[in-house]
Chains A and B, each alone.
Chain A
Amino acid sequence: MSTVVLLTLTGLGLAALYFLIASGLSLVFGLAGVLNFAHGLFLSVGAYATWWAAPRWGWLPALAFGVAVAAATGALVELVLIRPLYTRHTEQVLVTVGLSLAGVALLQSVWGADARVFPRPSWTSSVVGVGGAQVPADRFLLIGVAVLVLLGLLAFLRFTRYGLIIRAGVENRAMVSALGIDVRNAFTLVFAIGGALAGLAGILAGMYFSSISPGQGAALLIFAFIVVVIGGLGSVAGAAGAAVAVGLLQQFVNYYGTAGAGDVSVVALLAVVLLLRPTGLAGKVATA
């Protein structure tokens, strides 16, 4: 029983990371049609910014700084590199792939290729007894943050004008323009939101794994892409459901099966969803 509890909470913690990365990725692809392979870079930028700032300013200001830097990076990438290429999809993909590789190389050149110990509040290192299992407290932090982000995103999409524009744009962005709305502002906004959430995921990943490294973003991005496809492009709620399924499946199969089988099972789940429901669990609708 205690093993199941531990695996469940650990799987949900991992799901929280996947959701934070995938929700922004999903909105960016759903609205702007950009397959952003540089999304992992936003994660690394947020994590490294926090790692750099924490010893100087304390943990909470450093967290805010990391999220802000990642959001600014997302907006800047959209404005400078993606915006001129909205009608040139091949070049767009090449730019994001190139940027992800260049970003990792830049982080390595500045701070080295080795993993760095990530600073964290001491209480996150403690354990909490739940159902006979000793669960690291950071799992609850990850889950709590992901739930708050999910609720915040859904409220944003449902109750704000930009949320309305994003939901409509995910369905038909040409029609949004035909209503007199400059949809490019919404593109920049979703890149900034995606960057902020990826940065937050990078910070929480630093706590989850106790360290950060330049390639961490790219490694997590693979599973985030799987979550996006399973959840349905453009759907925040779909991404949340898919993240939970992927995180739990990965943990349980890794524990009860052989090492690495969890990753294979996630790919198998992706294949099954694509066969049975090619548009993903929620289809191409920005669910509010």
Chain B
Amino acid sequence: MILQVTDLSVRLGGSHILQGVSFDVAPTGVTALLGRNGVGKTTTLRAVLGEVPASGAVSYDGRPVLGRPTHKLVRDGLAYVPEDRCVFAGLTVAENLRLASRVPDPDFELVHDLFPELRERAGQRAGTLSGGQQQMVAIARVLLNPNRLLLVDEPTKGLAPAVVTAVAGVLERVASRVPILLVEQNLAVVRRLATDAVVLEAGRTAWHGRAADLLSDADATKSLLGVGSTAGRH
């Protein structure tokens, strides 16, 4: 397992957000982290990355990571694409990418192959891009460097259907190279990408197994995700 989360607990501002989250992420493919709004999916990613104080145990590539600074984890190949993209609005596309480049030979070839539009918009301020274009920048930033695991938080949120399909296609190609822990609300995307799934409920792990098993179980998807098992099926 590339990532093992055991009894992860997070308290923020007096609220007990995570109350014992446990799951594993396989070293290949996409593991979907699912659940209704507010169950702690984003907090789980941020806790793994060291952005919020947490207790419990998190092992990345066999080494404990809780308490380690975020930048060191990222340098060890744990990359993060945050919810709402978090591109630097005042920087150009080229500057956003240059900032993210940490190695002598960043993989611009892959980035421009996946997102040819970014080459054309290199001089444009990232804050003036559309949501889909900003998502391209956010994903491109992490692909410039060698990674061992991607944490990707709601990459299709707020995007038009055509852009959702494009982003899913990119993640599918990326997943063939590096495992992904994916927080996603769009079950069509989950159905297309995920091999494994973890479902959180009220800050705890409620289900963990094969994504196909979850999505084919109408009762489980209804009770855990609040949608029918046919949701997102085209």
Contacts and interface: CB of A to CB of B under 8 A. Distances in A.
A172 B145 contact: no
B106 to A, nearest CB: 12
Interface in A151-202: 161, 164-165, 167-168, 171-172, 174-183
Contact of B91 (A167, A174, A177, A182): A167
B51 A178 contact: yes
Contact of B71 (A168, A172, A181, A287): A181
Contact of A183 (B71, B86, B89, B90): B71
B60 interface: no
Contact of B88 (A161, A175, A177, A183): A175
Nearest to B86: A175
Nearest to B51: A174
A103 to B, nearest CB: 31
Contact of A177 (B69, B90, B145): B69
Interface string B19-62: 00000000000000000000000000000010100000000000
Interface string A28-57: 000000000000000000000000000000
Interface string B89-107: 1110001001110100000
Contacts of A177: 51, 69-71, 74
Nearest to A181: B71
A167 B69 CA distance: 21
Contacts of A286: 90
A187 to B, nearest CB: 13
Contacts of B99: 164-165, 168, 176, 179, 181
A158 to B, nearest CB: 9
Given A172-B86, A175-B86, A180 B74 contact: yes
B100 A179 contact: yes
B98 A164 contact: yes
Nearest to A180: B74
Nearest to B77: A180
Contacts of B208: none
A142 interface: no
A178 B49 contact: yes
A135 B91 CA distance: 41
Contact of B82 (A165, A167, A178): A178
A167 B88 contact: yes
B57 to A, nearest CB: 22
Contacts of B102: 179-181
Nearest to A288: B90
A285 B90 contact: yes
B1 to A, nearest CB: 23
B75 A180 contact: yes
B86 A164 contact: no
Nearest to B76: A180
A177 B50 CA distance: 10
Contacts of A178: 49, 51, 70-71, 74, 80, 82, 86
Contacts of B89: 171, 285
A53 B80 CA distance: 51
Contacts of B88: 167-168, 171-172, 175
Query: Counting chain A CB atoms within 10 Å of each CB, which of B70, B75, B102 scores highest?
Result: B70
A182 B90 contact: no
Interface in B142-159: 145
A168 B92 CA distance: 11
A164 B69 CA distance: 21
B16 to A, nearest CB: 20
Contacts of A167: 88, 90-91, 95
A175 B69 CA distance: 13
Contacts of A174: 51, 70
B145 A180 contact: yes
Contacts of A172: 86, 88
A164 B82 contact: no
Contacts of A165: 99
Query: Which 4 interchain pairs have the tightest Cβ spacing?
Result: A180-B74, A285-B90, A177-B70, A180-B75
Given A168-B88, A178-B80, 12 more contacts: A164-B95, A167-B91, A167-B95, A171-B91, A172-B86, A172-B88, A176-B99, A179-B141, A180-B74, A180-B102, A182-B69, A183-B71
23 contacts: A164-B91, A164-B99, A167-B88, A167-B90, A168-B91, A168-B99, A171-B88, A172-B86, A172-B88, A174-B70, A178-B49, A178-B70, A178-B82, A178-B86, A179-B74, A179-B99, A179-B102, A180-B71, A180-B74, A180-B75, A180-B102, A181-B99, A286-B90
